[in-house]
Amino acid sequence: MYTILIVDDEMEIVGRLGDIISEAFFGRIHVTEFYFSREAYDYLQKERVDILLTDIKMPGVTGFDLAQKAREINEKCHVIFLTGYDDFDNAYMAIKTGCDDFILKINTEREIVDTIHRSIQKLKIEAGVQEPIVPDTENTIMNTIDIDVDSTDTISHIKKYIREHLSGDISLSRLSEVFYLNSSYLSRFFKRETSMNLTDYILNARIKKAKELLKQTSFPIFEIAKLVGIESPIYFSRMFKLETGKTPREFRFSNTDR
């Protein structure tokens, strides 16, 4: 699993690049995004990244500063600069600082994927790994089958993780960390593959587990609320009634098989 850090003070550019890379290299690259270069700099002081994809001109901390810090932590970090079409001066400076590649902000999706692919191939060669990572953008039957299998398997693992961690942190940010996916992409991916919003699936899983506990145990309702990840018993009761038409107490005593 390779790590890539994307930094640009234009939110829409970061989001676009994150989505393109997450989808093209699904399950192969962990994408982290920052809109503020200072936050990215702080992140790089403690985290190692394999590829840094950053704008050059940003207020305060520049892309050159980020590249220097990234290579202090990982001297083999590949640096790819984002640049404007007419930004020759900065492009020239980037070459002098030893960047590995450029991405024009107007590049097509395919050009972006190819650039990242080149960097990954170089990283693999440097590490002595022979098998290439191929981005999921080729229109071949075999690649389509691979994507379908990966998607089904990933959805299965996400659902399993949610069911097994209802009492813990199953927020979107936590799930994106666990499954090495951009959070916005994870949300859209789950909806695309299941036709259900991720938040709705989590709520349904909590209600289903609560029903089981109410029928099969004598745990107090406040404890059941915690076991399904809801700290407030009042909120739990309100949510449970909205979903089932009964309060947890009414549901428990309407079932005689507990």
Q: What is the pLDDT along the chain (258 residues), one digit of tens a residue?
A: 899 999 998 888 888 898 888 888 877 889 999 999 999 999 999 999 999 999 988 888 998 899 999 999 999 999 998 877 555 556 556 666 668 888 877 777 888 888 898 898 888 888 876 555 555 444 332 333 333 435 677 788 889 889 999 998 888 878 877 776 677 777 888 888 889 888 889 999 999 999 999 999 999 999 999 999 988 888 899 889 989 999 999 999 887 554
The alpha-helical segments, DSSP class H, found in 97-232 are 109-126, 141-164, 172-178, 183-194, 198-216, 221-227
Other C-beta atoms within 10 Å of 67: how many? Answer: 23
Report which DSSP code applies to 79.
Answer: E
**CA–CA distance from 150 to each of 3, 17, 172, 183 (Å)?**
19, 21, 20, 18
> What's the CATH code, domain 139-258?
1.10.10.60
Q: Are 70 and 45 in contact (CB under 8 A)?
A: no
Delimiting residues of CATH 1.10.10.60 domain(s) in the chain? 139-258
As given in the structure block, the two tokens for residue 208 are 């289903």
> What's the CATH code, domain 2-126?
3.40.50.2300
Delimiting residues of CATH 3.40.50.2300 domain(s) in the chain? 2-126
Q: Is 30 left (phi over 0), alpha (psi -120 to 50) or beta?
A: beta
Residue 53, beta-bridge partner list: 6, 80
Residue 78 burial class via C-beta count within 10 angstroms: exposed 0-12, middle 13-18, buried 19 and up: buried
Report which DSSP code applies to 61.
Answer: S
- State pTM to two decimals: 0.54
